[in-house]
Structures are given as structure tokens and as C-alpha cells.
Amino acid sequence: MLRQRCSAALEPRRVLARSLPAGGFESGRGDTALKRNGPRRRRTLTSAILGLCGWLAVAPAGAGPATDATAAALQRIETWNEQLLAVIATDPTAMAQAAERDRERAGGRLRGPLHGVPVLIKDNIETRDQPTTAGSLALAGNHTGRDAPLVARLREAGLVMVGKANLSEWANFRSERSSSGWSAVGGQARNPHDPARSPCGSSSGSAVAVAAGMVPLAVGTETDGSIVCPAAVNGIVGIKPTVGLVSRRGIVPIAHSQDTAGPMATNMRDATYLLMAMTAHDPADPASPREPGRFGRDYAAALKLEGLRGKRIGVVRSLAGFHEGVDARFGQAISDLRSAGAEIIDQLSFPEEPAGLADAAYEVLLYEFKHDLNAYLAGLPGAAGALRLPDLIEFNLLHAEAEMKWFQQEVFLQAQVRGDLQSQAYLDALALTQDYSRGGIDGLLQAHALDLLVSPTDAPAWVIDLVVGDRFLGGSSSMPARAGYPHITVPMGFVHGLPVGLSFYGAAYSEEVLIEAAYAYEQATGHARPPQAFGSWQAAVAPE
């Protein structure tokens, strides 16, 4: 009876059409098709599914836990997405995928601990059954018919692709006045802890969907802050791995020196298992490490309650001080780390920034974006394969009411006039950026014999302002992002009811050390909690 109710009563429906309706989107939002779907179903049904099915409730063989979990996820998306705009579209094959996972389970085949678990994929990552738009109407018809290697890895691990997540259009690299979480295709995603506030970005929908209980797992991408900021302000866990541990092929790029995909989840255990499913050597990705032992690591072995005991942790105070409420939570976090057995080395700072560092870091992104995006577009099948950056600029001008109602495309224009990657200006900017960021992190670690560094991830979420744009006060993302080093954010508490995160980062390929510390901190403090107005959380992987 339970299975019948979970599966039959929760038939999935498309969430958002992929084409621009006649007359354009209302108020610049991409939610017209959602409005056409009619009234939302009653939340009482969804609440019952939450309590009775869970994500992968223990069930007799053949009872269909993947089907139940996927149907429940699709129903939650339908129920809450109209308000939050976290999901661009659900995958029409999701229920068929789930049914196949259940058939495998009934036959005694389990692909791993995430077998049958629903996962949402950011819409700049290719999936074979859906378009990959990067949030832009210019790519609304971009059906590649192929999976990015990381998505193929997730399918092999038994996960169910339930849809594509909304994002900051072009991963927040079109305008300096953009609003995080806004795209012409998906509209303005909203923070479930306060829908008037920003979800940060660019992995906005991924974070919102997990925080609101729509899905237990999501994949985001980051160039600088695009996993850790949305994770922090939505009150969940985000892991940005060392650049190259996860293949970047099949992902709409910004900059190859910094781009990576990573997991987002409500807790460290789930995020760690998703990271394990994502990592693999890709000989076609120049950043994929060739050294033996980098892949196939059992990161789950680092999920230790005593993981902070004996750790030497450096406190980077130079990345704090931008918000008094965050500073108070950060001070408590340092006390909690010490109480859990860590040795704290406080009052550390990175070296003074050399003149022109910020400009150099931006130049790197502009040069690499032009090169990497044009190369990505050239490899697309169909009409999209003929597009280049100038065509996207022209498209936005021709569709300005839908694409540029709120902000322009000055970043596109700046990138277009940059030279190639043999330019001395680019090479000098890259050297300055990487030397400072890598030297800064490695220098602190070595000078003080540290295992890792901590600092606040970001300020609390700001009020969405489509006219003025985002309001970043400070944060910790840039140093590890520019270095290509790993970075984990874990909930640190709340400031006036808004979640904030604690950042753990360190040397290249130090994921295991960071997971040990972040998991032990999470378990010792228990700061994570779902938004009051939305669904409860169910773990994807049961604690051992």
C-alpha cells in the first residue's frame, strides 16, 4: 500500500518548459510554464511521503526504494519549486531510471551506497536526456545527447538523475552587476531560509534544492565561490575538490585553471560519498593528475568522530572581520574546534597582496573564458556548435528584454577583446595569481606545521536586488579557488536566522584531512537544520 501511494500518487511532471513562450517571460522570470501547470498539490501528501518513504527507506527486496525516493523528490520539486525556482526542468527519464535501479536491487545487484538515490545536476553540466543551457536562452536547444564524464560516473554508481538545477546565468560570468541565482531560462532562485534573500551562486539551484529538501544530493560547479557560497548561505555542506580530481569535460567552462565540479548535501557523510562517486582520472582533461594514488581513495574512511583530535589548525583572521555576527559565530567555532581536540594556531594572515593582484586574477578569468568557452562551443553537436562568444553577445542584444532586462554583458565584452593564451599579459597574470594563492596557503601550512586552515565562508545572505546586483561583504573562497586547492564549507550556525558556514581548506589533494576535520566539527556541533517552511531532511547514506 505504501509503495502504491508513493509511486502511483506521485507521477512526475515537467517543471519548466525549455522554450521562450510567446510574448516572453513575465517580469523577466522563467517560471511561466510552472504557472501553467496549475495549482500545487497539497503539502500534506508530501509531508506523508517524507515520513513514510524517506529517501531510501529500508524495504523488502523489490519494494522499490529508488522509485519511492525519486517520486517523492519529483513531488517536492513540484510543490516548492514555484516559490524557490531551484530547478529548471525535471528529467523525463527519472522514474524509468529509478525503476531500473529497483530491478537491480531486487536481483541482488547494488552498485554502491548511493544506489537509487536522486541527484540534481547543475544546468551547465551535460546530461544525455536534457538540454544543457547554462541558464541562457542562447543554449535553450542545446541537446548534446551525451553525459559529462562525471554524470556517467554517477550513473555507474547507481544514482538517479532527477533534473537540472537553476544557476546564475553563465555561472555568474556575464555581468559585474548580476544577481546570483538569476538566469533567463530559470528565473530568480531564492533562499529557502528567507525567500526574499539571495541563494548566492552560481550553484544556486543545487544548494536551494538540497536545503529545501527537494533532493538529498546535488552537483555544483565552482570557479571562485560558486559551490561554497551557496552551500553556506543555504545552510548545507559543499565540497570544492582539488582542480582535476573531477573531470571538467562536458561542463560549460569559465576558466580551466580554477573550474571544478563538486558535491552538495545536507551533511558531510552524504557529500563525501558523492565526492567518491564523482572522482576519476580523465586522460582528456589536462588538469587530471597522473600521479598514482590520486584516485579511488576511500574518503569515507575519513569520517571519524575524533577527526579533530591532534589536528593543528590555523585560524586565518585576515579573512574575517567583515560582519560582526559572523565573527561571533566564528569565535564560537574556534572554541568548538579546540574542545574537540584540535590545536589552534590563531591570528594568522596571508601575506600582503602584491599590487595588481585582483586585476591579474580577473584577467586570468577573462582570457581563459574566451578560449575555453569557444572551444567548448566548437565541440557541441548541432546548431550550437557554430556559436562563438561574439554570437552570444549578439544573441543577448537581439533578446535584450529577456536576457538583459536586469543587467548587461560587460564581462562578455571584456573577454571578447582579450588575446589568446600565448599572450604575455595572460601568462604574467596567471603566474602572479597562482604564485600568491598557492604560496600563501602552502606558506602558512609549512611555517606553522599546520594540517589545515579555517575562516568564515561568507556573510549571511543579502536581500535580492535585481537592479543593483549582489552584495558580497567578504569570504574565504578566492585563495583556495585561485590555487586550485580543496575547500569544504560546513554549517557554523545562524545570524539573525540566516545560516553561515565555516571553511576548511588546505594543500592540494588534502581532501582526506579536510573531511576528517569538517566531519568531526559537524558532528560535535550539529548546527545544520532545514528551513522551517520547507521539507525535513533525509540522509542519503545511513550512518554506520
CATH code of 336's domain = 3.90.1300.10
**Residues 89 and 167 sit within 8 Å (Cβ to Cβ):** no
| Better-scored residue on pLDDT, 484 or 7 | 484
Residue 208: inside a domain, yes or no? yes
Q: Is 240 a catalytic residue?
A: no
Q: What range defines the domain where residue 267 resides?
A: 115-525
Q: Is 122 a catalytic residue?
A: yes
Q: List the one residue out of 283, 324, 274 whose CA is nearest residue 474.
A: 324
Distance CA 433, CA 165 (A): 31
Residue 170: inside a domain, yes or no? yes
Residue 29: inside a domain, yes or no? no
pLDDT digits (tens, 9 = 90+) for 86-100: 999 999 999 999 999
Q: Where does the pLDDT of residue 199 fall: very low under 50, low under 70, confident under 90, or very high at 90 and above?
A: very high
Distance CA 96, CA 105 (A): 14
Distance CA 486, CA 498 (A): 25
Residue 20 has a pLDDT of: 32
For residue 27, pLDDT beyond 60: no
**Mean pLDDT value across the chain:** 90
Which residues are CB-neighbours of 27 under 8 A, at least 6 positions away?
none
Grid cell, residue 146, equals 551525451
Q: Where does the pLDDT of residue 266 fall: very low under 50, low under 70, confident under 90, or very high at 90 and above?
A: very high
Residue 218: inside a domain, yes or no? yes
| Better-scored residue on pLDDT, 292 or 325 | 325
Residue 494: inside a domain, yes or no? yes
Q: List the one residue out of 202, 204, 184, 196 whose CA is nearest residue 86.
A: 204
Residue 536 has a pLDDT of: 80
Residue 540: inside a domain, yes or no? no
| Better-scored residue on pLDDT, 293 or 465 | 465
Residue 334: inside a domain, yes or no? yes
Which residues are CB-neighbours of 222 under 8 A, at least 6 positions away?
203, 228, 240, 258, 259, 260, 261, 262, 477, 481
Q: Which residues pair with 495 in a beta bridge?
A: 498
Q: Which of 180, 198, 202, 503 is catalytic?
A: 202
Residue 463: inside a domain, yes or no? yes
Q: Which of 122, 164, 311, 370 is catalytic?
A: 122
**Predicted TM-score of the model (pTM):** 0.90
Residue 76 Cα distances to 86, 251, 384, 475, angstroms = 11, 27, 33, 32
- What are the strands of the beta sheet with 312-316, ordered from one edge? 87-90, 160-165, 118-122, 217-222, 260-265, 237-240, 487-495, 498-505, 452-456, 312-316, 343-348
Q: Is 476 a catalytic residue?
A: no
Q: List the one residue out of 367, 364, 361 whose CA is nearest residue 417.
A: 367
Q: Which of 226, 257, 437, 476 is catalytic?
A: 226
Number of domains observed in the structure of the chain: 1
